Amino acid sequence: MSAFASIRLRKGEELRHLLIGLASSVVAHGFVILLYLLLSSATMALQNQLYEQLKARQLADEKKFQEEAPLLFVEVTPEQSTPEPPKDPKFYSFANSQAANPDAQVDTGVPKIDGTQDKVPKTFDTLRPSAEPVPPPPPPEPEEPQPQPRDLTVGDTEKPPKRERPRTVAQAQIQQGIIAGPRMRQDGGVKRRGGVSLDTKATPFGAYDAAVIAAIQKRWYDLLEDSTAAPKSGKVVLDFRMHSDGHITDLKVLEQDVGEIRALYCRKAVSDPAPYAPWPSDMRRMIGKDYRDLHFTFFYW
């Protein structure tokens, strides 16, 4: 009869090794869980820190925009536009322009404008738009080369830029003017010589606001065409909130001295064309929120 030696541990040693393995497994799993919790906490803290930094930067950009952005829209013609914006503009538009006037003998900070009204900032006369849309301009004709004249510019005199023939209806409207009315009257003078222009800064929403103004003005004139109310001079001031998707809320009349009917025409001129086009991405990024509070004034001449 053959005998075989057993390699089985004694019962006490087997239990001790089992307990050691179990303890090692618990420690390893506990370490993994602890490491996971630490990494999760660190990641969450980093995300919160990045979010707070992004929020602070967004608030700073919004505050800077509110402090620096010009608050009043004016039109800029192709002749008035300049590549560089002015240092401290009071107006905004779809193009840059710098204050200038033909007489550069005095410098008061604002150009002299020989107009007839002091309510709307305008540097040129714009007739009331007709009910019909502006027809497309004819295709440009080939121009014969002309000899270049001698440049007689001296001092800070600047040659006016060449007026380009508009190729689209929108370009034609910009050159003719969007906001109807006569040019303003303003005393002053600036050293920059040229055609009359104001310190104006191009913004990502200048073209957007020009389209909104044109739509409101057209609806206003349509309502006035059908009106039987007696003419009366005065103004209507409206406030409303425009959202990034183009719809408006909180439309209210702040001031009016022309009667309820004409004030109603102004309300409808704003509300009827809504919703307007959604904001461009650059406009949303610069404003920093999904709404704007706008102040709109109608003048009855």
Q: What is the pLDDT of residues 109-128, one digit of tens each?
A: 899 999 999 999 999 999 87
**Sequence-separated (6 or more) residues with CB below 8 Å from residue 90:** 70, 72, 198, 199
Domain extent at residue 31: 13-68
CA distance 264 to 220: 10
pLDDT tens-digit readout, 137-167: 444 444 444 444 433 333 333 343 444 444 4
CA distance 166 to 136: 9
Between 273 and 23, residue with greater pLDDT: 273
| Domain shared by 215 and 264, yes or no | yes
The reported pLDDT for the residue numbered 145 is 46
CA distance 172 to 110: 28
In a domain, 285, yes or no: yes
- CA-to-CA separations, 154 to 79, 108, 149, 151, in angstroms, rounded: 20, 22, 15, 9
Mean pLDDT of the 266-287 span? 94
**Sequence-separated (6 or more) residues with CB below 8 Å from residue 220:** 265, 266, 269, 298
Write down the residue that tokens 């003005």 correspond to: 217
| Domain shared by 28 and 77, yes or no | no
Would the pLDDT of 135 be above 70?
no
What pLDDT band is residue 129 in, cutting at 50, 70 and 90? low
H or E element at residue 27: helix 11-68
Average pLDDT of the residues of the chain: 80
| Domain shared by 46 and 104, yes or no | no
- CA-to-CA separations, 245 to 70, 270, 275, 289, in angstroms, rounded: 23, 16, 8, 12
Helices (H) and strands (E) in the chain, counts: 5, 6
Show the tokens assigned to 183: 């040019």
The reported pLDDT for the residue numbered 167 is 45
Q: Report the chain's terminal Cα–Cα distance, integer Å.
A: 129
| Structural Rg of the chain based on CA atoms | 34
| Domain shared by 192 and 209, yes or no | no
| Domain shared by 184 and 107, yes or no | yes
- DSSP three-state, residue 171: helix
Neighbours of 217 (CB within 10 A): 19
| Domain shared by 216 and 190, yes or no | no
At 252, give phi and psi (nearest 5°).
-150, 155
| Domain shared by 195 and 210, yes or no | no
| Domain shared by 30 and 123, yes or no | no
| Domain shared by 80 and 196, yes or no | yes
In a domain, 5, yes or no: no
pLDDT tens-digit readout, 184-236: 999 999 999 999 999 999 998 899 999 999 999 999 999 999 988 888 899 99
The reported pLDDT for the residue numbered 222 is 94
Would the pLDDT of 261 be above 50?
yes
| Domain shared by 59 and 99, yes or no | no
The reported pLDDT for the residue numbered 8 is 56
Beta pairing class for 234-243 and 248-256: antiparallel
Would the pLDDT of 131 be above 60?
no
What pLDDT band is residue 49 in, cutting at 50, 70 and 90? confident
The reported pLDDT for the residue numbered 22 is 73
End position of a domain, from candidates 39, 68, 97? 68
CA distance 224 to 23: 89
Asked if 196 and 113 touch (Cβ cutoff 8 Å), the reply is: yes
Number of domains in the chain: 3
pTM assigned to the model = 0.66
What pLDDT band is residue 237 in, cutting at 50, 70 and 90? very high
Burial of 32 (0-12, 13-18, 19+ CB in 10 A): exposed
Burial of 126 (0-12, 13-18, 19+ CB in 10 A): middle
In a domain, 90, yes or no: yes
| Domain shared by 295 and 242, yes or no | yes
At 138, give phi and psi (nearest 5°).
-65, 160
Angle among Cα 101, 104, 110 to the nearest 5 degrees reads 55
